[in-house]
Amino acid sequence: MGCLLLTSACLSPSDGQTAAQTPTPSFFPTSTLPPSPIPATPIPESTSTPAPSATPFPRFFTNDFDSSLTGWAMLQAGNDAVPNIQNKDGSLVLQMDSPFTWLYALYGAQDYSDVRIDAQYVNRALTPSTAGLICRYSEEDGWFEYNLSADGTYNVLHGRWLSVGVVDYVPITEGASKEILPSGSIQKFGLACSETTLFLYINDDLFRRVDIARYNLQEGKVGLAVSSYENSPVIIGFDSITVSAP
């Protein structure tokens, strides 16, 4: 994802400058509007207190992607090529047929401070690609992104939109793990955002803690990320996502 793995239109990890708009592919989503607020349901006037009803947009949940994607929003970065997004056969399938494309699926119905996200996915196209988890996403303040790459590496990024066409991506940490499985395998990973620490999981095992106190991100949305590089197509099938208390 971004500056750690690509050389086009990005910052080096050591500089603090802003990536300016260039003819190379932009990392900024084609639509950066945050998901629309869920309107409150009017309560009919009554002399008695109405019984509480279940919300269609739960705060904590497991989604096996066997139903609609109500409450989710999609953003794309890199180019204007139309991705193929399907909620099919118990998987959220994100397909990108163009290189240097970034696709985000955000759960727009809730904001979270401390939260854990776990997901299971398969890289179906066997091309080099990255799958990620996002927490504390805010268009104004940025977000944290934890990515696993098909080459066995991982990274954590802080992304922040500065203006349309201008993005600042700051690498936080990176590394490699033998627990990152090759393309075609069922991969599990998790991310917990708790106070000033990120907890990174691979296959349900906690393997690293990352201090994020200096970024001062308090809350935001959670989501999934997929990216392609010079090779395409990229087809990532997410079999499930669980959002829970950390």
DSSP structural state of residue 5: T
64 vs 166: CA distance, rounded Å: 35
179 or 161, higher pLDDT: 179
pLDDT at 164: 56
150 vs 122: CA distance, rounded Å: 10
> Domains along the chain?
2-12+57-244 (2.60.120.560)
89 or 178, higher pLDDT: 178
pLDDT at 15: 39
pLDDT at 204: 92
The amino acid that residue 229 corresponds to is Y
Longest dimension (CA), the chain: 65
Mean pLDDT along residues 67-79: 83
CA-closest candidate to residue 147, choices 198, 88, 97: 198
> In this predicted model, what pLDDT tens digit does every residue of 112-151 receive, in sequence order?
999 999 999 999 988 888 999 999 999 889 999 999 998 9
E-only strand ranges, 141-233:
142-149, 153-163, 166-176, 186-194, 197-202, 205-211, 220-228
77 or 141, higher pLDDT: 141
> In this predicted model, what pLDDT tens digit does every residue of 171-218 receive, in sequence order?
999 999 999 998 889 999 999 999 999 999 999 999 999 999 999 899
48 or 85, higher pLDDT: 85
> In this predicted model, what pLDDT tens digit does every residue of 13-71 receive, in sequence order?
333 334 333 333 333 333 333 333 333 333 233 334 444 445 578 999 999 998 778 89
Residue 123: strand pairing partners: 236
Q: Which residues contact 19 (CB under 8 A, 6 or more apart)?
A: 9, 10, 11, 27, 166, 167, 168, 169
